Amino acid sequence: MPNATEPKLISGNSNRPLATAIARRMSMHRGIDLGLVDARVERFNDQEIFVEVFENVRGEDMFIIQPTSNPANDNLMELLIIADALKRSSAARITAVIPYFGYARQDRRTKARTPISAKLVANLIAESGIERVLTMDLHATQIQGFFDLPVDNLYASPVFALDIQSHFGDLSDVMVISPDVGGVARARELAQRISAPLAIVDKRREKAGEVAEMTVIGDVTGKRCVVIDDMCDTAGTLCKAAEVLLENGAKEVHAYMSHGVMSGPAVERITNSTLKSVVITDSIEPTESVKKCEKIRIVPTAPIFAQAILNIWNGTSVSSLFDQRTLGPIYEGVYSPK
């Protein structure tokens, strides 16, 4: 049953442009102004976070838009403190919209005496008063099970499929590549959406952050290869994979990454690499160097997040957004309909 009041959005400092774009998109859908709630999220001199909400939120359905990207600790604390402020202000329900979920790579114990930080963050979120989480492309889908509250995990692959169909034209020579064995399920899903074959780059690491050896499983000769992964951090593995694919006969290599973490030398590596293009979403606010890089293109996530928020608020299906036929009309104006 639809709610009597409209959803209300509030944003931390992590990705204000995305929050503003989501609010603008929702305003267009609802036909009324759904601007961000007036609030301040500031620092004391010792860098403690202070939040003050200037509007009445009693009994409101609140959505906090806050990726927990770099600086992850600051952005996570902003999210938790905003949630506490809303809870103490008698908000009816608090949903955390976390386009990029930080600490997701620490989802299991790979060695003795190491933490499962993703579970710890899930506990913190639940204790802060947040009742629901909306995110995109978790590093590992089992992280949903770390929460004792509903988690809606959106996928970038339907949006990527629309982008590929719009920019690649004839897809007969396109092949989807998984950069490792662990990402096969993600790559297979995209391959099925665009009716393309699948290959795998098997990588072996001697230690974290360093790739010792790469082997291509599958025939990529004469193919336009599309590497798909959930994040691009330092881009070392991605650039190396592109070289290996070209050495094995690929015509050109493109990459689609859900989250452009882009740490350290990532942009420089991509600029100097053999990659034809790298497509990322705006789940993490891109830096100026990312925006200026000619090889990097950014696709918007505001349309899918705006619709997901409205579906949650209205009590309708979020999983309908997993289908690119549903996303097509939502992304009209971004991609030409096929």
From the candidates 203, 276, 292, 295, give the one annotated as an active-site residue: 203
Q: CA 155, CA 135: separation in Å to the nearest integer?
A: 9
Centroid of chain to Cα 168: 23
291: tokens are 């925006």
| DSSP-assigned letter for residue 198 | E
Instruction: Spell out the alpha helix ranges (H) of the chain.
Output: 16-30, 72-88, 117-127, 157-168, 184-193, 236-247, 266-271, 288-292, 302-314, 324-330
Q: How far is CA 108 from CA 152, 204, 323, in A?
A: 21, 19, 30
Decide if 295 is catalytic. no
- Give whole-number Cα distances, 169 to 160, 162, 199, 228, in Å: 14, 11, 21, 18
Tracing tokens 């790739």 back to the chain, one arrives at: 211
User: How crowded is residue 7: how many other Cβ atoms within 10 Å of its Cβ?
Assistant: 20
Could you list the active site residues? Answer: 203
